[in-house]
Amino acid sequence: MIFDPVGGDVFDRSRRCIAFDGRLLTIGFASGRIPDAPVNHALIKNYSIVGVHWGLFRKFHPEKVTEIHEDLMRLYEEKAIRPLLYKEYDFEEVPEALEELADRKTYGKLIAIP
């Protein structure tokens, strides 16, 4: 499964490296370019391209959002998933963290400690 909030060239590269029978989740187009998806490639590698509009999903299925959140927290507590963390910041360092994020110097999650 590939989670792609960037689109553009990242989507193109994701299509090339996706595993047979994989799923490519299209979350957004932060790159600014909406990519094309030749369906013959999806057919040959037997993968799915799934659009994920979380805001609309939350509007139509609010009870599912709570259920999904609880499942994710359980998996995290069981150490079955490990989010990619970039760095933890003291609350006073939040402006610095936001600048690093805006300058695209980060990867993963930035954590602000109150």
Residue 5 confidence (pLDDT):
92
Same domain, 100 and 61: no
Residue 104 confidence (pLDDT):
86
Residue 33 confidence (pLDDT):
94
Give residue 3's pLDDT band: very low, low, confident or very high (50, 70, 90).
Answer: very high
Residue 10 confidence (pLDDT):
94
Same domain, 33 and 66: yes
Residue 11 CB burial class (10 angstroms; 0-12, 13-18, ≥19): buried
Same domain, 36 and 64: yes
Same domain, 22 and 73: yes
Domain boundaries, position 42:
2-82
pTM: 0.68
Residue range 44-73: mean pLDDT, rounded: 96
How many domains is the chain built from? 2
Q: How do residues 16-42 score in pLDDT, each as one tens digit?
A: 999 999 999 999 999 999 999 999 999
CATH label of the domain that carries residue 29: 3.40.50.720
What are the helix (H) ranges across 1-114? 8-17, 39-45, 54-60, 62-77, 94-102
Residue 6 confidence (pLDDT):
93
Q: How do residues 73-113 score in pLDDT, each as one tens digit?
A: 999 999 999 989 999 999 999 999 999 999 989 988 999 99
